[in-house]
């Protein structure tokens, strides 16, 4: 007996054997059982999902000697003739090669004659979208009001090319892609029938490569069986077809994470020398990073990932953020589009491997702005504590303390160490329950380090205190001069806190005034009329030739 390919040998001969199209099967079976048979059907969907097979099964169900029935016997003369393709009452037409209006006119003439041995004369037109516009127009009237014994079954992979006037006259059934697990089960059944041993990962790869088409899966299965010598393994498939395994890609990505770019590039060179094409490498890298992105989103279904998730190391699953994985996939898709115009596609792949090594450090401008905003908010709210800046005690602090008026009882302080020593002695001499009172004295520059230290819990106010440039007393009023107007305003907003801390440090309980060094300098150097004229002359690039003073 002549060899028969698996796709033909496994073609379903009944509705129960049609896998992956439960909605189509149940609807057609119920319509036949209830006697609601339409005069025109339109089957649409991707290639290799059972459109033509369903049309032939429907033809047998309608013309079976026991029918119309949802379960044709398959042994009567009508069923056998339809299965072999030589029934005179079931005419199959290739729409791609019979596109002219003359072919349709021939059909219009033939429908006038009733069937010879069957109940219905059935026309199956495959790839009906290939008919010309005039051919569709010639078919409109016949489809809308055919004789009772005529049934049309149209099949197409491009439903959008079929005119709406044709679609509205037909019962439409859309065939879906077959899921990966169903294809894998069918392949295992076919391997068992052929007495071929097949590994699970090899069948998974064949089912994945078929992209939902059962015919493509059977075709690829026959090709793999021919060189597997009775045992289908993933290693044989990779070596014979020039594929990149998941383990090899995972090893290359691990090298990149460990910053061993040289080893990653050498591993890629080994793949290319083994006969793997650059295009195939890009496809496999894209699938790998896509799988990582889906796992990052919480999706672990192998049918969706396209790879077996347990073959991806745990260390790689959390190595990248979603944003970084999206950037890698976008770069790979762009690379695949550009290699056709490249000087050397191999150079493009090597450049990608070199760039992808810095992927863990990749961040978009949006992410950086969000991070900076978060850090600023934490700094202003005091959630982040900064160490206080140490102020160096200048030699002129002693002279400043000696310049205090004799009427004030000043306790000179020349350094931070002296202040801490004095506080420790007062603490030791005080009551262990009730703290010793602080002796009232003027607040001096020597007390600034202690003030900064007390404000360390509030980083912003600590920085403001460090901006104090001068401390002075005038008629019982403490004058604090700041270097900028911003620091002056912040100090005025927290005047109560400054007052309580100054009282705690020196015992001074008088009024406090806040000044700004920049404002004082501007007041000391007012602009004269001559300076204003000079500025105007400089702006307009002129010069002053004569100046008169008018009273």
Confidence at residue 400, expressed as pLDDT on a 0 to 100 scale: 45
Cα(155)–Cα(52) distance, integer angstroms: 7
pLDDT of res. 474: 80
Distance CA 139, CA 137 (A): 5
**Which is nearest to 125 in space by CA: 15, 7, 44?**
44
Confirm if 156 and 125 have CB atoms less than 8 A apart.
no
Q: Would you state the pLDDT for residue 201?
A: 87
Q: Check: CB of residue 506 under 8 Å from CB of residue 440.
A: yes
- Give 3-state DSSP helix, strand, coil % of the chain, rounded to 5: 55, 10, 35
The two beta strands, 197-198 and 150-156, are unpaired
Q: The sheet that has 477-482: what strands, in order across it?
A: 468-474, 477-482, 512-516
Q: C-alpha angle with apex 32: 27 to 35, nearest 5 degrees? A: 120
Tokens matching residue 530: 């001559």
Please report the pLDDT score of residue 409 as a whole number.
44
C-alpha to C-alpha distance for 46 and 178, rounded to whole angstroms: 10
89 neighbors 31 (Cβ within 8 angstroms): no
Region for residue 126 given its phi and psi (left: phi exceeds 0; alpha: psi -120 to 50; beta: otherwise): beta
Per-residue pLDDT of the chain (551 residues; tens, 9 = 90+): 577 889 888 899 889 889 888 999 999 999 999 989 999 999 999 999 999 999 999 999 999 988 788 998 888 988 999 988 888 899 998 888 877 888 888 888 888 888 888 899 999 999 999 988 888 888 888 888 888 899 999 999 999 999 999 999 999 999 999 988 899 999 999 999 999 999 988 999 899 888 889 999 999 999 999 988 889 998 888 888 877 778 888 889 898 888 888 999 999 998 888 888 888 889 889 988 998 998 888 888 877 887 777 778 888 888 888 888 888 999 999 999 988 888 888 999 999 988 888 887 776 677 777 778 877 777 777 666 556 555 454 555 444 444 444 444 444 444 444 445 555 555 545 444 444 455 567 888 788 888 888 877 777 777 778 888 888 888 778 888 888 887 888 888 888 888 888 888 888 888 888 888 766 655 555 555 566 666 666 655 566 665 555 44
**Residue 231 CB neighbour total at 10 angstroms:** 12
Q: How far is residue 170's CA from residue 543's CA, in Å, rounded to a whole number?
A: 92
pTM: 0.60
Question: Which domains are seen in the chain, by residue range?
Answer: 6-174 (3.40.50.300), 180-240 (1.10.8.60), 246-361 (1.20.272.10), 396-524 (3.30.300.20)
19: Cβ contacts below 8 Å, ≥ 6 apart: 12, 50, 178, 182, 186, 214
Q: Is 211 left (phi over 0), alpha (psi -120 to 50) or beta?
A: left
Q: What is the dihedral of CA 184, 186, 188, 192, to 10 degrees?
A: 180
* Cα distance between residue 308 and residue 291, in whole Å: 9
pLDDT for 384 equals 60
């Amino acid at each position: 007996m002549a060899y028969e390919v698996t796709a033909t040998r496994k073609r379903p001969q009944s509705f129960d054997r049609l896998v992956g199209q439960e909605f189509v099967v149940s609807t057609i079976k119920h319509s036949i059982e209830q006697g609601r048979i339409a005069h025109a059907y339109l089957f649409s969907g991707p290639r290799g999902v059972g459109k033509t097979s369903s049309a032939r099964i429907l033809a047998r169900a309608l013309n079976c000697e026991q029918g119309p029935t949802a379960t044709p016997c398959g042994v009567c003369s009508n069923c056998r003739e339809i299965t072999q393709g030589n029934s005179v009452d079931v005419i199959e037409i290739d729409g791609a090669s019979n596109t002219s209006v003359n072919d349709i006119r021939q059909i219009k003439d033939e429908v006038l004659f009733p069937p010879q041995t069957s109940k219905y004369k059935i026309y199956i037109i495959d790839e009906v979208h290939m008919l010309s516009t005039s051919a569709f127009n010639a078919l409109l009237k016949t489809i809308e009001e055919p004789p009772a014994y005529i049934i049309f079954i149209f099949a197409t992979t491009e439903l959008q090319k079929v005119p709406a006037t044709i679609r509205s006259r037909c019962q439409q059934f859309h065939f879906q892609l077959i899921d990966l697990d169903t294809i894998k089960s069918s392949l295992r059944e076919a391997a068992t029938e052929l007495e071929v041993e097949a590994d699970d990962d090899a069948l998974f790869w064949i089912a994945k490569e078929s992209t939902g088409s059962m015919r493509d899966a059977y075709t690829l299965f026959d090709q793999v069986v021919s060189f597997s010598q009775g045992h289908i393994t993933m290693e044989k498939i990779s070596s014979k077809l020039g594929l990149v395994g998941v383990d090899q890609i995972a090893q290359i990505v691990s090298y990149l994470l460990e910053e061993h770019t040289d080893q990653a590039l050498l591993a890629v060179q080994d793949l290319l020398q083994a006969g793997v094409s650059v295009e195939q490498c890009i496809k496999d890298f894209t699938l790998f990073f896509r799988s990582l992105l889906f796992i990052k989103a919480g999706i672990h279904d192998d049918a969706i990932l396209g790879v077996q998730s347990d073959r991806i190391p745990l260390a790689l699953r959390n190595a990248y953020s979603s944003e970084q994985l999206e950037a890698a996939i976008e770069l790979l898709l762009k690379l695949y589009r550009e290699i056709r115009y490249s000087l050397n596609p191999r150079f493009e792949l090597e450049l990608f491997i070199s760039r992808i090594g810095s992927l863990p450090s990749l961040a978009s401008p949006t992410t950086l702005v969000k991070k900076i905003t978060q850090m600023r908010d934490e700094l202003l709210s005091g959630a982040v504590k900064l160490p206080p800046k140490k102020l160096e005690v200048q030699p002129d602090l002693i002279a400043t303390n000696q310049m205090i008026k004799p009427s004030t009882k000043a306790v000179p302080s020349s350094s931070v160490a002296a202040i801490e020593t004095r506080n420790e002695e007062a603490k030791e001499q005080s009551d262990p329950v009730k703290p010793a009172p602080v002796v009232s004295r003027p607040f001096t520059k020597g007390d600034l380090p202690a003030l900064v230290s007390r404000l360390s819990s509030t980083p912003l106010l600590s920085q403001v205190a460090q901006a104090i440039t001068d401390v002075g007393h005038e008629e019982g009023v403490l004058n604090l001069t700041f270097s900028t107007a911003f620091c002056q305003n912040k100090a005025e907003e927290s005047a109560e806190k400054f007052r309580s801390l100054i009282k705690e440090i020196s015992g001074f309980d008088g009024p406090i005034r806040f000044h700004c060094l920049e404002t004082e300098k501007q007041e000391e150097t007012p602009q004269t009329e001559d300076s204003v004229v000079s500025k105007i002359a400089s702006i307009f690039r002129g010069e002053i030739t004569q100046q008169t003073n008018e009273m």
